[in-house]
């Protein structure tokens, strides 16, 4: 599934200055990682936001927000916001801000050591 590149550019501008932000292609879209934690992402033309548990229910009740579910089972602490809810710069900034705050509240992730290569071919 492709993701909305224009929306990705808007999110990148908002995240500029938040520290080291990395991007990973996942969920058929792109995820923005802050301090090793996903804070936001884009799947299709919807924004994916990490809300955490504390304000999940209140944010879920907002217009254009819906549970994030890839497998038919909703992931608590993550929401999708559909295009009408992020059309304005102010609204997009607010939603991305929830993801940034949630990611910054988590302990920094340390990179996992790279796995040693597996031996290919017959064993001797």
Structure-token pair, residue 11:
């999110």
CATH class of residue range 5-105: alpha beta
> CA angle, 7 as apex, 5 and 13 as ends, to 5°?
105
pLDDT in tens, 10-24: 999 999 988 889 999
pLDDT in tens, 69-105: 877 788 889 999 999 999 999 999 999 999 999 999 9
Question: In sequence order, which residues have a C-beta less than 8 Å from that of residue 30 and are 6 or more positions away?
Answer: 3, 8, 23, 24, 41, 42
H or E element in which residue 14 lies: helix 5-15
Q: Domain ranges in the chain? A: 5-105
pLDDT in tens, 28-75: 899 999 999 999 999 999 999 999 999 899 999 999 999 998 777 888
């Amino acid at each position: 599934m492709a993701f909305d590149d224009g929306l990705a550019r808007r999110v990148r501008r908002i995240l500029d200055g938040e520290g080291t932000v990395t991007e990973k292609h996942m969920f058929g879209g792109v995820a923005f990682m802050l301090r090793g934690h996903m804070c936001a992402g884009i799947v299709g033309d919807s924004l994916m936001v990490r809300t955490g548990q504390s304000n999940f229910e209140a944010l879920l009740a907002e217009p254009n927000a819906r549970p994030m579910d890839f497998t038919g089972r909703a992931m608590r602490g993550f929401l999708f916001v559909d295009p009408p809810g992020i059309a304005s710069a102010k609204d997009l900034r607010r939603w991305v801000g929830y993801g940034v705050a949630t990611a910054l509240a988590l302990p920094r992730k340390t990179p996992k050591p790279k796995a040693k290569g597996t031996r290919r071919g017959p064993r001797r």
